[in-house]
Amino acid sequence: MKKILLIVSGGIAAYRSLDLIREIKRRGDDVTCVLTKSATQFVQPLSFGALSQNKVYTDLFDLESETNIGHIKLSRNADLVVLAPATANILAKMSYGISDSLATSILLANNKPLLIAPSMNVKMWNNPSTKNNIEKLKKYGHIFVGPDEGEMACGEVGSGKMSKVEDIYKEIEFLLKPGPLKGKKALVTSGPTIEPIDPVRFISNKSSGKQGHAIAERLSKLGADTHLITGPVNIPYPDNVRVTEVNTAEEMLNACKNSIPADIAIFAAAVSDWKPTKNFQNKIKKSFNDGDLNLSFSQNPDILRTISETNINRPKLIVGFTLETENLMESARKKMLDKSCDWMIANNHIQKNKSVFNSDMNEVSFLNDVSDESWGLISKKNVAENLCIKIIEFFDNAA
């Protein structure tokens, strides 16, 4: 039986935390509740006590509790702390280390994993101050679930609804139970690389990073110590994942070398194959040569091949990604052999007349040294799930 400390802040979604308590108890775990003063205006502490069958805490200056330094012991006695709902107010206080209540004091003194389920008006969620606070809290290592999209209690529509109870509990399970990849170290490359021509121009591609980021997120949730090495992207980084930002292919290769030894290496980045031979120090003017501008290019290092063929600390499992516009399977199998990787994921460049770049969907096939199988047109998150199932099976069979 695991012990969960549930902190409830003062949003309209506070009543939904009662259903979360029911789910935690149904799964056989213990839950103790801490309510902020404003949370008690939405739901009475008596309801939380009746469902949790434990004392409910609300006041930092509870003489009986604080004689034993209760705001410290409450988190020390827990296996996991859950903040649901998390209002914009309490997220801001956490971001700046404010401890003006029992709840914020516990959060500041906490030394256990923290799962946060935000709930607020869509304008509050999209406010730059809130975004900055969340980014800071993620860098501190806190895990977020949601929010979902939908109609708010105020009648507005958008992101800000607290996640469904089943989704929150799924994250609780990930954090409480040792994942099947616990003890494994993984590196994942993602996004594009960019190769400078001059201080303001570069060559690159349209990769969004959605596939690589989804894989890194899934590996982390399954217990792997995950390092994401990514080119410039405009999507959030996964929670609980170490991130290294790079620009060029050479920077990405150096980051990969620094990340091994590793058990798993997945190369989902769309690395530029070429780079300008000359990087101009100043902006190229239109009058550069009074005519067309001719640039010469040289090949970038092949990151997948370099790591696959290393003789020192080669990862036990190396997975490459390839995107083709023709002869998909033939080209993918040839690349898998030429680059000495263990598996290859082959992407169709076009699916339903749309480029796979920046899409949430992907049409892929999985190849290893003995067979190949089509996964069809599925979400990039499902690609990540299918790949991780294969990875778990690989290590189970190798054990």
pLDDT for res 268: 97
Q: Residues 33, 154, 341, 388: which is the catalytic one?
A: 154
> According to the 3-state scheme, what is the secondary structure of the chain?
CCEEEEEECCCHHHHHHHHHHHHHHHCCCEEEEEECCCHHHCCCHHHHHHHHCCCEECCCCCHHHHHCCHHHHHHHCCCEEEEEEECHHHHHHHHCCCCCCHHHHHHHHCCCCEEEEECCCHHHHHCHHHHHHHHHHHHCCCEECCCEEEECCCCCEEEEECCCHHHHHHHHHHHHCCCCCCCCEEEEEECECCEEEECCEEECCCCCCHHHHHHHHHHHHCCCEEEEEECCCCCCCCCCCEEEECCCHHHHHHHHHHHCCCCEEEECCECCCEEECCCCCCCCCCCCCCCCCCCCEEECCCHHHHHHCCCCCCCCEEEEEEEECCCHHHHHHHHHHHCCCCEEEEEECEECCEECCCCCEEEEEEECCCCEEEEEEEEHHHHHHHHHHHHHHHHHHHC
pLDDT for res 63: 45
Catalytic residue at 341? Answer: no
Q: Give 297's strand partners.
A: 276
pLDDT for res 319: 98
pTM of structure? 0.73
pLDDT for res 49: 92
pLDDT for res 175: 86
The structural domains of the chain, ordered by start, are: 3-176 (3.40.50.1950), 185-398 (3.40.50.10300)
**Nearest Cα to 188, choosing from 372, 331, 383, 361?**
383
pLDDT for res 373: 92
User: In which residue ranges of the chain is pLDDT below 50?
Assistant: 63
pLDDT for res 64: 53
